[in-house]
C-alpha cells in the first residue's frame, strides 16, 4: 500500500529550526559504470568497447563468438520486433546485434531466442544508455549508438566481427546527456511546507545520477541518487567558504538561497517555461562561486508568511551591500502560473 501524505512533511531532521535542508537536482549527464569487452574485425587488431549488462546479470566469458545483425538499417525503429522469417538461419553460437526501440527488450529477445540465440547486444537509439531487461537463458547487454553503427557498417561490408568478454572485466565510466530531466529538480526530492508551514529546502544541489565513491568490496564506484549526494556537495562549498572567509565564520542558509539559480519546473517527463515552486527547490541550484564571492547580503533569505494562527501579515527583509563599490538593485516578482491575483 502506498500512503500519500501531501506536501506537508515533518519526518526529517533537516526540518528543524536553524538546520539547512538540501533538495536534489538531477545531473545533466547520466554516467554509467560500464564493463569492457574486446572485439576483432576480420581477426585483426583487438579493440575495446564498453557495454552495460542486463539488470541483475553477472559478467560471462565469451571467446570469439561472431556478431550477427538482423538489419543493416540503423534507423529501423522496429528492428527485431517481429518474428524472424522462416528461412532465417539458426542463431546458436552467435551474438545478435539489435537496435533498441519500438517494442520491449524482452519481445526482441524472445523473437531471436526462437532460433537458438543465447547472446544479444542492443545498440542504443536514444539518451541515456540503460541496462536492458532479458529472459532466462539469454545474456543481454547494451552498447552506445555510435558503437552499434560502427559494427553495422563493418558487417554490411561483409566483414567478420568477433567478440571477447571476460567474467572479470575491467570497468570504465561512460556518460550520455540527460535532455529530459537534467538540470532540474529530482522527482524524488521532498517538497515543503512543513507542518509548521516553514519553507524547506532552503537550497538545492546535484543529487540525481551522481558518480560517487563506494566501498571497495562493492566496486569502488557507483551511480547513486538522493539528497545524500546533494548534502555533501553543500559541505564542500562550506569548506571553500571557510577557506575564503576564515574558519570562525558561519555559512547561514540565506547566503546559499539568495545566491542560488532558480530552476524551471520539470515533472519527470518535460521541462516547462516557468520556475519550479519555492516549496520544491528553495532558492534554486546552489552557486559555489557566488557563495564564496558574495557581496550582497539579504536577510532573511526567505519570506515565510506562516499562514496559520500565527500569520505574519507584514514582513520585512534587509539588503546590505558588503562590497567595495556601489550597487543599484531592482526588484521583480515572478508569479507562478495559475495563481489568482489579489
Mean pLDDT, the chain, rounded, equals 88
DSSP-derived secondary structure for 9-58: ---SGGGSTT---EEEEE-SEEEEEEEEEEEEETTEEEEEEEEEEPTT--
For the entire predicted model, the pTM comes to 0.75
303-317 core/surface letters (b: 16 or more CB in 10 A; e: else): eeeeeeeeeeeeeee
Average pLDDT, stretch 164-191? 90
| pLDDT of 286 over the 80 cut | yes
Asked whether the beta carbons of 25 and 43 are under 8 A apart, the reply is: no
Region of poorest pLDDT, from 4-13, 76-85, 120-129, 292-301: 4-13
Bridge pairing between strands 62-69 and 95-99? parallel
* pLDDT given at position 86: 85
* pLDDT given at position 342: 43
Bridge pairing between strands 119-123 and 95-99? parallel
Return the SS3 of 297. strand
Bridge pairing between strands 95-99 and 210-213? unpaired
Q: What percent of the chain has pLDDT over 70?
A: 94
Q: Which three cell numbers mark 17?
A: 529550526
pLDDT tens-digit map of 107-149: 999 999 999 999 999 999 876 778 898 999 999 999 999 999 9
* pLDDT given at position 8: 56
Average pLDDT, stretch 199-217? 91
Q: Which three cell numbers mark 154?
A: 563493418
| pLDDT of 214 over the 90 cut | no
pLDDT tens-digit map of 64-120: 999 999 999 999 989 999 999 988 899 999 999 999 988 999 999 999 999 999 999
Q: Which domains can be identified in the chain, with CATH numbers?
A: 13-28+178-321 (3.40.50.200), 30-175 (3.50.30.30)
* pLDDT given at position 16: 77
Asked whether the beta carbons of 95 and 66 are under 8 A apart, the reply is: yes
Per 3-state DSSP, the chain is made up of helix, strand and coil in percentages (nearest 5) of 20, 30, 55
* pLDDT given at position 10: 52
What's the distance, CA 244 to chain centroid? Answer: 31
| pLDDT of 206 over the 90 cut | yes
| pLDDT of 177 over the 90 cut | no
Amino acid at each position: 500500500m502506498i500512503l500519500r501524505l501531501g506536501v506537508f512533511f515533518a519526518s526529517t531532521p533537516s526540518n528543524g529550526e536553524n538546520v539547512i535542508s538540501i533538495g536534489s537536482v538531477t545531473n545533466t549527464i547520466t554516467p554509467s559504470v560500464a564493463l569492457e569487452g574486446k572485439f576483432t574485425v576480420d581477426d585483426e587488431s583487438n579493440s575495446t568497447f564498453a557495454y552495460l549488462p542486463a539488470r541483475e546479470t553477472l559478467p560471462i566469458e565469451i571467446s570469439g563468438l561472431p556478431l550477427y545483425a538482423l538489419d543493416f538499417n540503423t534507423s529501423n525503429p522496429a528492428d527485431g520486433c517481429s518474428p524472424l522469417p522462416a528461412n532465417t538461419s539458426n542463431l546458436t553460437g552467435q551474438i545478435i546485434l539489435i537496435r533498441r526501440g519500438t517494442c520491449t527488450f524482452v519481445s526482441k529477445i524472445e523473437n531471436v531466442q526462437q532460433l537458438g540465440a543465447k547472446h544479444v547486444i542492443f545498440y542504443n537509439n536514444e539518451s541515456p544508455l540503460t541496462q536492458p531487461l532479458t529472459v532466462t537463458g539469454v545474456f543481454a547487454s547494451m552498447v552506445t549508438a555510435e558503437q552499434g553503427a560502427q559494427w553495422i557498417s563493418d558487417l554490411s561490408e561483409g566483414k567478420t566481427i568477433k567478440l571477447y568478454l571476460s567474467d572479470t572485466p575491467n570497468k570504465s565510466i561512460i556518460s550520455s546527456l540527460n535532455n529530459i530531466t537534467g538540470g532540474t529538480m529530482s522527482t524524488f526530492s521532498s517538497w515543503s511546507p512543513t507542518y509548521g508551514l516553514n519553507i524547506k529546502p532552503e537550497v538545492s544541489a546535484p543529487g540525481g545520477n551522481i558518480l560517487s565513491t563506494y566501498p571497495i568490496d562493492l566496486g569502488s564506484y557507483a551511480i547513486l541518487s538522493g539528497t545524500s549526494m546533494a548534502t555533501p556537495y553543500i559541505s564542500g562549498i562550506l569548506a571553500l567558504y571557510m577557506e575564503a572567509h576564515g574558519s570562525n565564520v558561519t555559512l547561514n542558509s540565506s547566503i546559499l538561497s539568495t545566491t542560488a539559480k532558480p530552476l524551471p519546473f520539470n515533472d519527470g517527463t518535460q521541462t516547462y517555461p516557468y520556475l519550479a515552486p519555492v516549496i520544491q527547490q528553495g532558492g534554486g541550484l546552489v552557486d559555489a562561486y557566488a557563495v564564496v564571492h558574495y557581496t550582497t547580503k539579504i536577510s532573511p533569505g526567505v519570506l515565510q508568511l506562516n499562514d496559520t494562527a500565527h500569520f505574519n501579515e507584514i514582513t520585512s527583509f534587509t539588503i546590505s551591500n558588503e562590497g567595495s563599490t556601489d550597487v543599484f538593485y531592482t526588484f521583480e516578482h515572478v508569479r507562478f502560473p495559475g495563481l489568482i491575483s489579489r
